[in-house]
Amino acid sequence: MSFEVTKRQGVIIWVYTLRQLKNLRRFGYIHYVSNRLKYVVMYVNQDVIEEKMKQLSNLHYVRKVEPSYRPEIDMTFKNSLKQLEEENKEQVEES
């Protein structure tokens, strides 16, 4: 028996009211709810994210649905400080 990690992606759901919060549970795992700003952060499997976003945007209590762009960001920070210093030196020399 092997453990396999499922790829998930965050979805930010802006709602008009938080009354239907229980109804949102069927679309994915609710990670965070902001009562003041009225948004929900939810994790959904990456292979069905487009389908779930369409379903969520069709709900009458949902204002806007946005995907999280974290999977698209390069998270390797090895030598990033050195690269930043080199870029700053080049900009100073050009000026």
Residue ranges per domain, the chain? Answer: 8-94
Exposure string over 17-40, b if 16+ CB within 10 A, otherwise e: eeeeeeebeebbeeeebeeeeebb
Overall pTM > 0.85: no
pLDDT digits (tens, 9 = 90+) for 43-73: 999 999 999 999 999 999 999 999 999 888 8
The answer for 76, left when phi > 0, alpha when psi is -120 to 50, beta otherwise, is beta
What fold characterizes domain 8-94?
Alpha-Beta Plaits (3.30.70)
Confidence of residue 1 (pLDDT cuts 50, 70, 90): confident
Specify the pLDDT at position 94.
76
